Every structure is written in structure tokens, then in C-alpha cells.
Amino acid sequence: MGIPPVKSSTPEALWSARSVRVLRPAAVNCQNLERRPLLDGFSLRVPVGSRLLLVAQPDASASLLLRALAGLARVRGRIEMAGTGDPSRAGWARRVAYVGADPGLYAWMSPREALQLAARLAELSHEETDRRTEAAVERYGLAGSLERPMIHGGPGLMQRVALAAALLGDPEVLLLDEPLRALDPDERAGLLTIPGARRTVIIAIRYPASEGGICSGVALIRAGRLAFAGPLSGLDARGLPLSMRGIEALAAASGGPAG
């Protein structure tokens, strides 16, 4: 039985082709990452389109991993992102976006200025900038505070703007390190429902609670190594809660890192 041919070369047609789904190419592939004691020979492969919940003991390991994937922290080992091992602007740098726990935006900027700067750095055209900014403003509820400096809006506003700015460049891989922690869990879950079936999202959370509907997989880092990776539905199947303790119990029941 053969796999049906791809009928068009548009990204949507390619993505929806059965052959691509069968191959499940990796959006993130890291091998033997070392930076002791937080990462000690860590390896992980995340297929394209995955929504991965990342938890760690100690939790700084997950944060370091995401910052290393984003090119912000230096680790030894091999990293391939979005199908390339080249971390430069010509490689994966423009195809990957990162949002940290501290948004890192200038507080004197207004949300509009921050979004326009993000669009300029992503080299979007004026028309595309306007179109995507409007969509981001609507999606992240920024209309009421669009022109005021973000310092007046508090950390919640800055985190929403940081997430909106990260999505402005339509990244293939989105790395979220404790995002939107200034918001309540329900609002956070709503905003973290990231659009785009082809987009790979990795969310590092210290206290997982409201990410059940957002993520499809879960990975646990323990002592710098991958202790477990598997579908998040495993928690429900075993009647375990979505919590650090539940994920540890799932890892213990599964008995290995390869999920």
C-alpha cells in the first residue's frame, strides 16, 4: 500500500500530506547537551507541530535548556532547530522565538512600539506589519493600552506584549519559559493556546496546572537528563493529576526516557 502523493507545493498542502505526518520530522533535536549540573548529557527530539510541556528538577534545568535552544545560554552539545544546525540569522535564528519569564521589553515603550520594533527586526513589510499587529492586538487584548508606556500596565501587560511580539514573526518553533506567570491560570491557558498546526511549542512550567488543554506531550528533566517523554494523555489514562507529582508518577510507571 503506497502513500498518496502530495498534490500541491503550498506549505499547507505539504503539511497536511500523509507522508509528512508519517515521517514526523523533528523541529527540535538536541544531543548530549552539557552544562553541569543543570544539563548532563541531555538529549531530546521534538516532532514538528508538537506542544510539549517541559518540567524539571531542579526547575532551572528547563529554563537553561530553553535559553540554550534560543541561543541565549551557551552549552556544549549539538542542537538542530527547524531542520538546520546553523544558529545564525540565515539559519534558525529567525524561525525560532523565545519568551522568558522576564519579558525583557523596554518599559518606556508602548505595546505598539514594541510590536513595530519586533516586526522591523523580523523584516516584515509595512502592510504585513499592520496586518499582524492588528491581529496580535485583538488576540492579546492590547487595544485599551496600545499607546501608553508599558510601565503603566504592569508585568501582565508586558508578558502579553512579549508573547504577541514573539508570534509576530510567525516562528516555526516557539519556546516559552514560564510565560504569562503574572496572569491567572484560566487567562494564561487561553492566551497560551498558540495558533498554527505546524508550529512547535515548548512550554517550561514550574508548577503545571492549567496546561492540560494546551500541550500534547510532556517531558521531565531530572538531574540534567531526560527522565521521561511521552503523551500528556498518559496522566489521564492512569488517573494522575497534572502536577509535578503526577508527572513524576507517570515517569516512574513508564520506566524510561523514550516516550
Partner 1 sequence: MSLFPAVTWLAVRELWISFRLVTIIALFLLAGAFVALLPGLGQRQPASWYAIGLAVASAAAGGLTAAILSLERKRGTAAWLASRAVPRVTLLVGWFIALLAAAAAGFVPGSALAWFTIMPASPTLDPQRFALGLLAAGSGSLACVALGMLAGALLPPARATLLTLLVCAAAAAGSLAVPDARSLTPASGYFLLAEVPAGWPLGRALQAIGIGLATTALLLAGAGLALERADL
Q: Which positions touch partner 1 (CB under 8 A)? A: 67, 70-74, 88-89, 93-94, 97-98, 100, 102-106, 108, 117-118, 120-123, 162, 165-166, 169
CB-nearer residue toward partner 1: 37 or 104: 104
CB-nearer residue toward partner 1: 12 or 34: 34
Smallest separation (angstroms) from partner 1 to the CB of 131: 18
Residues β-bridged to residue 218: 53, 230
Q: Are 97 and 171 in contact (CB under 8 A)?
A: yes
The CB-side HSE value for 101 (13 A sphere, CA atoms) comes to 11
CB-nearer residue toward partner 1: 50 or 116: 116
Smallest separation (angstroms) from partner 1 to the CB of 120: 6
The sign of the CA dihedral 129, 118, 64, 206 is negative
Smallest separation (angstroms) from partner 1 to the CB of 80: 17
Burial classification of residue 205, based on how many CB atoms lie within 10 Å of its CB (0-12 exposed, 13-18 middle, 19 or more buried): buried
Smallest separation (angstroms) from partner 1 to the CB of 204: 14
Smallest separation (angstroms) from partner 1 to the CB of 5: 35
Contacts of 126 by beta carbon, 8 Å cutoff, 6+ apart? none
Residue 81 zone, left/alpha/beta (φ > 0; ψ -120 to 50; rest): beta
Nine cell digits for residue 258: 523514550
Residues 99 and 177: their CA atoms lie apart, in Å, by 6
Smallest separation (angstroms) from partner 1 to the CB of 197: 23
CB-nearer residue toward partner 1: 140 or 228: 140
CB-nearer residue toward partner 1: 121 or 253: 121
CB-nearer residue toward partner 1: 118 or 232: 118
* Nearest CA-CA partner of 75 in 105, 37, 103, 47: 37
Nine cell digits for residue 39: 544539563
* Nearest CA-CA partner of 111 in 145, 152, 156, 155: 145
Smallest separation (angstroms) from partner 1 to the CB of 77: 16
CB-nearer residue toward partner 1: 120 or 152: 120
